[in-house]
Amino acid sequence: MTAGRAWGITPTGPLHGDIEVAGSKNVITKLLVAALLGDSPTWIGNAPRIGDVEITASILRAVGAGVAVEGDSIAVDPSEVQNSRVPVRYSGLNRIPILMLGPLLWKLGEAFVPLVGGDVIGSRPVDYHLEGLRQLGAEIFLTDEGVEAKASHLHGARIRLPFPSVGATETLLLAAATAQGRTVLENAAVEPEVVELALFLQRMGAGIELQPDRRFVIEGKSALSGARQRIGGDRIEAFSYLIAGLVTEGTVRVSGCSQDRLVTAISTLRRMGANIEIEDEAIRVTPSTLSPISVHTSPHPGFMTDWQPALAVLFTQVPGMSLIHETVFEDRLGYVDTLREMGAEVELYDQCLGGAACRFHEGMWLHSAVLRGRTALVGSEIVMPDIRAAFAYVLAAAAASSPSVLFGVEQLERGYDQVSAKFRSLGLQIDELS
């Protein structure tokens, strides 16, 4: 195995300490794209220092924007954007290019973005994005390399998404913010990260309302201004480190992420019997006797799909039979094979177990997992396939009885701020091998 940089991880027993969560990965990249809509510079604070920020900053520079990164602050100057084509070298790195279509169409009347990438957790097609842009008046052409789009102007429309897709909602918010007239976006995603993007666009001058029934109403504006915003904490990072404490029977205190972003996560862990102390500025978990439960992922305010890989590792250490029913991404459970190699007892099913049928019902996808605990995990050589699975593998390695070698550390660092330093601060032994 030679897939990228590698860590050697030696289990050190219970993890203890304080973790300050960085700004949200799933917000910062979207706000960087939104900055292109301004007629003046934008400043964003509390930005995480992660690979996806570097990739997105490079994409913006490629179309002519000025991007300055200093610590956790990022400034974007869109005044020199003159290139309507995102270079094909950004194909497959992440899913940011598809979000560029609306801003580039508004500024230049045409756009090209390469094929999208990101984690291999399911098909995540861009059909919803493109159909919505067509309804806003864009001409869309698919090529072998990506998406070509043209529009003398975009206009408002009533759009109903077949599924509350986070990415499609973000694409259409960005496009509708400067479209002529009113756009009504129904069955939209309302995750905290999506709402934060909407609030940022409102801060730039966009007319946006969120109605109670998953409906955004956007009054397009002919001009938006740059804005200043300090982004909220990353709820996935916060949950992940809380699990690090529970899975090793340690005590971990997480700060920097508000309680309201973790309501479902906290209630889920408490259903298991976890001891959780909620403070004004932090959340702490302490060792406790846990019981198995059934969890179904779903769009917000349900249990977040990005939380479930870490939870699966915790389930391996809980006596009894636990269940995960994944309803958002059809191939999200691909990480399970590696957990089995480490000793986890997991069975996958194509049925919708433990609840109502989901959109993968009667398909061929293995999207339900039954996990039996408590099982002794052993160290292994592991290749990290995607961001969330990568963190889950670090958790499994920390809970194992022998050392592990994890390859592809870049995947982990693409989504988690200063992750090696934070784990070491909790007492985990991590050795850089390459």
CB atoms near residue 245 (< 10 Å): 24
CA distances from residue 356 to 238, 325, 359 in whole angstroms, order as listed: 29, 10, 10
List, in sequence order, the alpha helices (H) in 13-117: 25-34, 51-62, 101-108
Residues 6+ positions from 234 with CB-CB distance below 8 Å: 21, 22, 23, 24, 25, 26, 48, 257, 417
CA distances from residue 83 to 80, 100, 102 in whole angstroms, order as listed: 9, 12, 14
Q: In whole angstroms, what is the distance from residue 373 CA to residue 318 CA?
A: 5
Q: What is the 3-state secondary structure (H, E, C) of 197-243?
A: HHHHHHHCCCEEEEECCCEEEEECCCCECCCEEECCECHHHHHHHHH
Residue type for position 370: V
Residue with tokens 């999208």: 116
Q: Is 39 a catalytic residue?
A: no
Helix 127-135 to helix 101-108 angle, to the nearest 10 degrees?
30
Q: In whole angstroms, what is the distance from residue 269 CA to residue 303 CA?
A: 11
Per DSSP, the three-state class of 264 is helix
Please state whether beta strands 275-278 and 282-286 pair in parallel, antiparallel, or not at all (unpaired). antiparallel
Catalytic residue among 52, 119, 234, 306: 119
Please state whether beta strands 381-383 and 404-407 pair in parallel, antiparallel, or not at all (unpaired). parallel
Which tokens go with 202?
């409102």
Please say whether the beta carbons of 412 and 4 come within 8 A. Answer: no
224: closest CA among 179, 159, 172, 171? 179
DSSP 301-320: TSB-GGGHHHHHHHHTTSSE
Which tokens go with 19?
């973790």
Phi, psi of 299 (to 5 degrees): -60, 155
Residues 6+ positions from 289 with CB-CB distance below 8 Å: 273
Catalytic annotation, residues: 119
